[in-house]
Amino acid sequence: MPKVWAVVIALLAIALWPTLGRVHVEGFSYLTETISVLFPDIAASDPLWGVNSEFFYLTRPGASWLMAPLSDLSPGNGYNILTWLVLPPFLFGLVLVTRLWSGASWLASASTLLLLPISVEVGHFYNDNIVAMSFSLWALASVLAGPSLIWPALSGALLSIAILCRLDNLLLLPLMLFLAGLPADRLHRALLRSVLLVAAAIAVHLLASLVDPAAANLFGRIELAAQADALWSRDQFPLHDLFASDASAWLTAFGLGVPAIIAGIVEVRLRSRVEAASAEGSVMDRLRHWSGPLCFFVYPLAIYALTMGKYYDPRGFLTMLPLLAPLAALGADRWMFEPLRAGRALGSQSSVGALLILAPLLIPGVPAPPEPESPVTSLTGRIWHGGDWRSWQTAVQRRDANLRRLVTEQLPRGETSVLVARQWTPDRRAQNTLATEGFRLVTERAEGQERFASLPDSPAAACDTLSETWRHPDGTQVRLLRLHVPFLANAATKTDAALVLARPCLEQSASDRRFVIDRAEPVRLSGSDLDARHGAAVANLRTLSPHDAPRRTALEILQTADSVLNR
C-alpha cells in the first residue's frame, strides 16, 4: 500500500496547490477582517448601516476575536495567518473523524479529502467556515474517542468555540448530544455524558460573555440571523428555485464524491442488518444499532429541511461534511482499498465500483453549475484545475494591489479625496484597505441624528449622509462614498437613489481627487462621467415615481432603507 499512499499524497499536493495564493472571496471576508482590525470598535466597521456590522460580527464573533491579535501583528494579513493556523487541524480533523466514525482505513479516510472537493477548496480563499469547522471536527473526534467522561466535556468546549466562530455550527449540537451517550452501557450514564457536553459548552459561552455579552447571547444571535435572512427575502423565491440553487452549491461541494457516498450508504445498510441480528435488545443497544442510519441518512436530511434556501455558496454545506465523509470513505474502502490490502486483484464488481469512484475524481469534462465562489467550470477532475483557481486569485490580488497603490501612493498626502463604491465587494474592499493601511474612522455624526430626515441642503450635508471619512495619521483624509445599500432587495434602484442624493458631495470635490473603485483598477470620475451616471439614475427613479422630483423619490427610498438597517 505505500505506493497507493504516495499517489494519494501526490494528488492531495496538487489539489492543495491553490491554497498558496489564498485571497478574499467577496465583501463578507473583507468586512470580517476589517472588524478584527478595528476591534473592539465594532460600530466603526459600518457607521452607515448598523445591521451590517451587527450581523457580520455577531454571527461569527469568535472568528473576529481569533483574528484580532493577528491583525494587530500584521494588518492586512490576519485572515491569511488564521487560515494557515486552522488548515492543518481542519484537514487532519476530517480524516480522524472519518476514521473513528466509519471504521474505514486511514487510506480511505484520507482519500475523502479528494473525493469531497469542498474539503480542500474551502482553503483556497478566506472564510470563517473553515475556522469554525476545524473546532467542530475536533469536537466530533473527542466525542467519538472513547468512554472516558473527559471526552464529552472536551467536545462541548470545542463545539462552543465553533458556535462562537460561526452560528450555523449549532446545527451539530443535537448530533453531538446523541453521539456522546452511545459509549454508555446504561441510559442514565448516557444522559450524564450528554449533560457534561452541554455544561462544558455553557461554561465556554459564560467565559465569552466576559469579552462581549452580546456575542455570548445565543438566542440574540439566532434572532439577528433570522432578521437578516428575512431582509434578504430568500423565502419569496419559488421553492423549486431555492432547491435548484442549493443543489447547484451541493454538487460543487460534493458532486464528484456521489458514487463513493452511494457505495457507503449501501455499506452502512449492510452493517446495520448484521448488527440487528446480534443486538441484545437494550435501549443503548438499539440506539447503537440505529446510529449509522440516523447519523448518516436522517441527520443530513434534517439539517437541510431546517436550512433549505439558505445555501448561498458551496462552503455553506460544510456542516454536512463530517456526515458525508464517513460514507465516502466506506465506499472507497469497500470497492478499492480492501481488495488491494488483501493482495488480490479487483473483481469485476469491485472494478466497476472503483471505476465509478475514480473516474469523476480524475477525468474532467462534466460541466459544473456556475458558482461565483468557484472559477472551475468542470464538476469532475477538479484537482487538475488549480490553474483556474490561481488565475482567479491573481485577478483578486491585482484588484487589491491597485486599490492599495491608489490609497498609499497616488492620493495627495494631507488632502481629502473621494472614493466611490457602487457595489458590495468594492465597498468592503475599500474600507478594508483603508483600515489595514492605518486610516481610522472620523466620527462626525451626532448620536441619534437622523440622516434622511430631510433633503441634504449643502454639499457637506450630502457627504455626511452617505459617506464615511477616514483619516491617516499623516493628515490624509478619504471620504468613502458608499452608494450600495446592503441586504435589501432592488439594490440597483437604491444605488441610483444614493447617487442622486450624493451628487452635491461629488461636485464639491476636484475631479482629480475622486475615484470610482468598482472595476479592477480605480478610475477618476470626470465631470462628464458623473453627469452620465447621474442622468441614468434620475431616469430610473422617474420610472418609479414620474410625478415626483427625483431627489424626493431618492430620499423616500433611503428613508425606508434607513428605518430597516439602523434599528
- Over the stretch 317-336, which tens digit does the pLDDT of each residue have? 999 999 999 999 999 998 88
For the chain, the domains span 2-224+240-386, 411-565
pLDDT at 279: 60
**C-alpha–C-alpha distance, residues 437 and 408, integer Å:** 8
Q: Tell me what percent of the residues of the chain surpass a pLDDT of 90.
A: 68
pLDDT higher than 70, residue 44: yes
Q: Name residues whose C-beta falls within 8 Å of residue 357's C-beta, 6 or more positions apart in sequence.
A: 115, 259, 260, 263, 331, 332, 335, 336
Grid cell listed for 424: 458590495
According to DSSP H, which parts of 166-282 are helical? 173-181, 187-211, 213-216, 218-232, 239-254, 258-278
Q: What is the pTM of this model?
A: 0.93
Compute the Cα dihedral for 451, 454, 456, 457 and give only its sign.
negative
- Assign 219 a pLDDT band (cuts: 50, 70, 90): very high
pLDDT in tens, 111-152: 999 999 999 999 999 999 999 999 999 999 999 998 999 999
The predicted model gives 396-416 an average pLDDT of 94
Task: Read off the pLDDT of each residue in 359-372 and give the average, rounded to a whole number.
Answer: 90
| 70 contacts 113 by C-beta, under 8 angstroms | no
Residue 445 above 60 pLDDT?
no
1: confidence class by pLDDT, cuts 50, 70, 90: confident
SS3 80: helix
3 state SS of 61: helix
pLDDT (tens digit per residue) in 108-118:
999 999 999 99
Local confidence band at 346 (pLDDT 50, 70, 90 cut-offs):
low
State mean pLDDT over 455-475: 89
What is the average pLDDT value for the chain, to the nearest integer? 91
Residue 446 DSSP code: P
301 falls in which pLDDT band (50, 70, 90)? very high
Q: Which residue has the higher pLDDT, 213 or 185?
A: 213
Does position 341 have pLDDT exceeding 80, yes or no?
A: no
Q: What percent of the chain has pLDDT over 70?
A: 95
Q: Say whether pLDDT at 483 is over 80.
A: yes
Angle between helices 299-307 and 321-332 (to 10 degrees): 140
Looking at residue 343, its pLDDT comes to 65
Q: What is the pLDDT of residue 281?
A: 67
Confidence at residue 446, expressed as pLDDT on a 0 to 100 scale = 47
